[in-house]
Amino acid sequence: EVQLVESGGALVKPGGSLRLSCAASGFTFSGVWMNWVRQAPGKGLEWVGRIKSKIDGGTTDYAAPVEGRFTISRDDSENTLYMQMNSLKTEDTAVYYCTTDYHGMLNNWGQGTLVTVSS
């Protein structure tokens, strides 16, 4: 059974940093592209970014609002996805989900971790 467990969400001040983790199990993590998607309180879904598998280049893509501030990485030896979030803004407040990616379809989701950016 595929499991994705996010962690690292917290209350942080504007301008601060945070690192989210997503522990994966139940599938061959190294071969799968992974995404982060966020959902602000009471709002819809917003794609944040993606990392390809190393065999497909391991490259990353980001949504415009987070480009240059967020960095996605992966540790295939630990089956873990990361997202380093710097220069956080109040509008980054959201539940952050990690997902698997099959040709752009997000076919497995974690339960999410809440990031609150507030002074």
Angstrom CA distances, 20 to 56, 73, 86, 103, 115, stand at 23, 10, 11, 24, 9
* CB closer to other proteins out of 50 and 74: 50
Site map (CB under 8 A) of other proteins, residues 55-94, x = contact: ------x-xx------------------------------
93 with 106: CB under 8 angstroms? no
112 with 36: CB under 8 angstroms? no
Report the nearest approach of other proteins to the CB of residue 47 (Å).
Answer: 4
Residues that bind other proteins (CB under 8 A): 35, 37, 44-47, 50, 61, 63-64, 97, 103-112
